[in-house]
Amino acid sequence: MAEFLFHSYKRKFQLLILFFSLSLTITTVVTWRESSSSVCLVHTKPSSPLVSFLERVQETAFDTLGNTNFDAKTYVDLALKFDLSATEKAFDKLARSANGSVSVNDFNNFIETYFDGAGDDLEYSIPGDFVPEPPGFLPKVKHPEVRAWALKVHSLWKNLSRKESTRVKTQPHLHTLLPLPASFIIPGSRFREVYYWDSYWVIRGLLVSKMYKTAAAIVTNLIAFIEEYGFVLNGARAYYTNRSQPPLLSAMIYEIYKSTGDVKLVKRALPALRREYEFWNSEIHRVTIRDTQGCSHTLNHYYAMWNKPRPESSTTDKASASKLLNASEKQHFYHELASTAESGWDFSTRWMRDPSEFTTLATTSIIPVDLNAFILGMELNIAFFAKVTGDKSTAERFLELSEFRKKAMNSVFWNEDMKQWLDYWLSNPSCEGDHVWVAQHQNKNIFASNFVPLWMDPFHSDTSLVRKVVKSLKTCGLLRAHGIATSLTESGQQWDFPNGWAPLQHMLVEGLVKSGLKEARSLAEEIAVRWITTNYISFKKTGVMHEKFDVGHCGEFGGGGEYVPQTGFGWSNGVVLAFLEEFGWPQDRNIDC
């Protein structure tokens, strides 16, 4: 027994040393997650006292107001009018019933007295580079109605532009909103702060709108996250410091550089991008797979630094976990919830061991196709930026890393029978050593993510491969009347059928276009036309742009998930503008259902 404890503590010490040796400014506490096959370290970031208190307020709000029209995020976005100690004392003095609720009148008075409203710490900020009709805007859009609509979509950048109030910088302890150096574009509605992967498609739209300074300002904010935390946060809130989102910062900078030639931005960004790369290749995100030839491949998975309810969804997460038997199971489930949120696909049967049971989320046991495609893109972009700045050795190193990843993706993900790249399940999610590749562990369910590698140059440059993928995409069932479905499973989760999402449409369409094949471009334009049409019809009916769409019904926005459908909407606007720039809209082409 003594020998076991010695080796156990020795191993724990070695893992802690390894973790703290990373060049990350992450403060961690360490908890343990046990499974039937292994004992794994789960690195978690401590919550701030303000966030912990606001979770208590959120729970009381739920107990008092009920579930109707209740959005848990509202309460962790509130800003204090007074210091935390005084606010907490007043909260603790509220008279409560046996179930923890207070009277609606008392609760509303407390909120009004001690808090500013969610979003009140942000101000509208008309971008300095916005003009109603930019010179050279969408020259290939000849249809007058489509052009008028495109200008309305362009004008939405004004509505979605924000800057933080001075109080966020002078009194940051009163806010969960994190101080940022520049203004930004929000997605819309409840998403009232800057978000990581949303920003890529926002920037693609801003570049169509010739708003180069606004695009660069967004990147400046994301670089600031890396400089402060060691990685780009999910979003600009204190409760998002425990996870990232799909890593697309290098892709944003690449697109801005292509449009502006801004070498200064590239030089500023390169050290931050290398640091972000270290984060995504640190022990918590790195997995090694040994293939059938005995070759080892290093790939990456999502892994949040959290094992408690997500503060922005605390009441929802606790309700979902209520059927689990003990604290250890709940901690494991909360870790999977946060790790799934890091993927951006929150939530989908893609991440569930049992598609009918939400608590079987197992995202950390999956090596995702799209994440590794994004990191491949990061490697290629860093190599490109290093070349631009004259750093030959870094360029060569990252090109070599990209070659390793391409081989790994071909070996682990590619399925020749299906002509798709498939996520890989780890049968034994142990914390060390190689995992042996087994064909049966590929997830053979159809998801739009199975085609995302086509977005990357090593794959869309392979003509023979593209032809296979085009055929598979046409016949797999994802291509619907009004866009590409996220999956073929109708689960009620928002990243499943029948929802279609702008980022997925764009990645697949752009990958097809970049291949240069006539048949691929034809399919790409077909998808883009369907997607533009449903966005246009929906806008005509509702007067707003939506977060997601039902690809089976023209002009219908999507649903499902843990919050009501949102409007605004950053990435939808960006993708519509990008598609119109690429394909235009002839005067004689109808736009209706």
Return the bridge partners of 188, or none.
191
Q: Going by C-beta distance under 8 Å and a sequence separation of 6 or more, which residues neighbour residue 119? A: 77, 192
Q: Look up 346 and say whether it is catalytic.
A: yes
Catalytic, out of 346, 370, 496, 550: 346
Alpha-carbon span 355 to 416, nearest angstrom? 25
Phi and psi at 550, nearest 5°, equal -85, 110
CB atoms within 10 A of CB 325: 7
Pairing of strands 435-436, 286-290: parallel
Catalytic, out of 55, 198, 423, 547: 547
Task: Tell me the DSSP string of 492-558.
Answer: S-TTSTTEEEHHHHHHHHHHHHHT--HHHHHHHHHHHHHHHHHHHHHHHHHSS-BSEEETTSTTPBP
Pairing of strands 479-480, 483-484: antiparallel
What is the strand order of the sheet 296-300 is part of?
296-300, 286-290, 435-436
DSSP H/E element including 327: helix 327-343
Q: Look up 417 and say whether it is catalytic.
A: no
CB-CB contact of 497 with 443 (8 Å): no
Task: Tell me the DSSP string of 270-312.
Answer: HHHHHHHHHHHTSTTTEEEEE-TTS-EEEEE----S--S--GG
Q: How many residues does the chain have?
A: 593
CB-CB contact of 405 with 380 (8 Å): no
DSSP H/E element including 192: none
Which residue numbers are catalytic?
Answer: 346, 547
